[in-house]
A and B are shown apart, each in its own frame.
Chain A
Amino acid sequence: MKFPILRTLLTAATLIGIACSTPSALAQDTKPPVPSGNVTVSFWGIATQPWQVMIDDFQKTYPNIKIKWTKYSTDEVKQAVRVASAAGKLSDAWFNWGGSLASPYEDGGHARELTPALMTQYGVDKNIVPAALDLARHHGKLYGIPIWVRPMTIFYKKSLLDKFGIPEPKTFDDLEQACAKLKANGIIPFACGGKFSWMTMRTTDFLIEHFAGPALHDKLFAMEASYSSPEVVKAFTKLKEWVSKGYFNDGFISLDPNESLPLLFQDRAAMTFQGPWIEDQNIISSHQDPNNYVPIVAPSDQKPVRVSGFQEQVQFWSKSKPDQQKAALLFAAFMTTPEVAKRHVSEFGSPSAVVGVYPSPDHPITTTMVKWLQSGVQLYLPTDQALPQEVVNAFFQAQDSMILGSLTPEAACAQIQKAVEDYKASH
Chain B
Amino acid sequence: MSTPKTTTITAPAESISAGAKRSPAAGKRNDALRFLPWVFLAPGLIIYSVVVVYPMLYSAYLSLFRWDGVAPKKVFVGIQNYVTLLTHNEVFWIALKNNAIWLVAALLVPTSIGLGLALVLNSRFRGSHIFRSIFYFPAVLSLAVVGLIWTWIYHPDLGLANQLLDALGLRVLKRNWLSDPQIAIYPVILAATWNAVGLPMLLFLAGLQTIPPELQEAAKVEGASPGQRFWHVTFPLLRETTLIVLAITSINALKAYDIIYAMTNGGPANRTQLLSTWMYFLTYNYNEVGLGTAIAVVLFSLTLIFAIPYIRMMTRKV
Contact = CB atoms under 8 A, between A and B. Distances in A.
A121 interface: no
Contact of B287 (A196, A259, A389, A400): A389
B250 interface: no
A13 to B, nearest CB: 34
B267 A195 contact: yes
A105 interface: yes
B70 A105 contact: yes
Contacts of B91: 397
A249 B268 contact: no
Interface in A244-286: 249-256, 259, 262-263, 268
A250 B66 CA distance: 40
A358 to B, nearest CB: 36
B156 A104 contact: no
A86 B70 contact: yes
B196 interface: no
B193 interface: no
A262 B155 CA distance: 11
Interface string B173-190: 000111111001000000
Contacts of A196: 265
Given A195-B267, A390-B286, A400-B269, A85 B70 contact: yes
A194 B179 CA distance: 10
A157 interface: no
A254 B270 contact: no
A406 interface: yes
Contact of A249 (B157, B264, B282): B157
Contacts of A110: 70
A26 interface: no
Interface size on A, as a range, is 35 or more
Nearest to A85: B70
A341 B199 CA distance: 53
A250 B156 contact: yes
Contact of A253 (B69, B155, B267): B267
B70 A83 contact: no
A52 interface: no
A263 B157 contact: yes
Contact of A404 (B156, B269, B287, B289): B269
Interface string A356-397: 000000000000000000000000000000001110110001
Contacts of B152: 259
Interface in B255-289: 264-265, 267-271, 281-282, 284-289
B157 A254 contact: no
B249 interface: no
Nearest to A252: B179
A317 to B, nearest CB: 13
A197 interface: yes
A334 B77 CA distance: 46
A406 B91 CA distance: 14
B114 to A, nearest CB: 29
B294 to A, nearest CB: 15
Contacts of A61: none
A111 B285 CA distance: 19
B287 A104 contact: yes
Nearest to B267: A254
Contacts of B81: none
A29 interface: no
Contacts, number: 98
A403 B287 CA distance: 25
B285 A104 contact: no
A254 B178 contact: yes
Contacts of B265: 195-196
Interface in B65-82: 66, 68-72
A108 B287 CA distance: 13
B262 to A, nearest CB: 9
B278 to A, nearest CB: 11
A250 B287 contact: no
Given A249-B157, A401-B269, A406-B181, A254 B71 contact: no
A116 interface: no
Contacts of B281: 393
B158 interface: yes
A337 B196 CA distance: 53
B99 interface: no
A400 B286 contact: no
Contact of B269 (A83, A105, A406): A406
Interface string A388-427: 1110110001001101101000000000000000000010
Contacts of B158: 262
Contacts of B267: 194-195, 197, 253-254, 400
Nearest to A426: B66
Contact of A389 (B72, B157, B270, B286): B286
Nearest to A249: B157
A79 B284 contact: yes
Interface string B145-184: 0000001100111100000000000000000111111001
B188 to A, nearest CB: 10
A78 interface: yes
Contacts of A393: 281-282, 285-286, 288
Nearest to B77: A426
Nearest to B155: A259
A298 B270 CA distance: 29
Nearest to B263: A254
Q: Most chain-B Cβ atoms within 10 A of its Cβ — which of A82, A252, A388?
A: A82
A250 B176 CA distance: 7
Nearest to A81: B70
A406 to B, nearest CB: 7
A82 B69 contact: yes
Nearest to A256: B151
Nearest to B73: A108
Interface in A103-145: 104-105, 107-110
Nearest to B283: A82
9 contacts: A82-B284, A83-B284, A251-B177, A268-B157, A390-B287, A390-B288, A400-B268, A404-B268, A404-B269
Given A251-B176, A259-B155, A404-B179, 16 more contacts: A82-B69, A194-B268, A196-B265, A197-B267, A250-B176, A251-B156, A251-B179, A252-B179, A253-B267, A254-B184, A256-B151, A390-B287, A403-B268, A404-B269, A406-B181, A406-B269
Interface of A: 75, 78-79, 82-83, 85-86, 104-105, 107-110, 194-197, 249-256, 259, 262-263, 268, 388-390, 392-393, 397, 400-401, 403-404, 406, 426
- Those 7 A-B pairs whose CB atoms lie nearest each other, nearest first: A251-B176, A251-B156, A400-B269, A254-B179, A251-B179, A104-B70, A254-B178
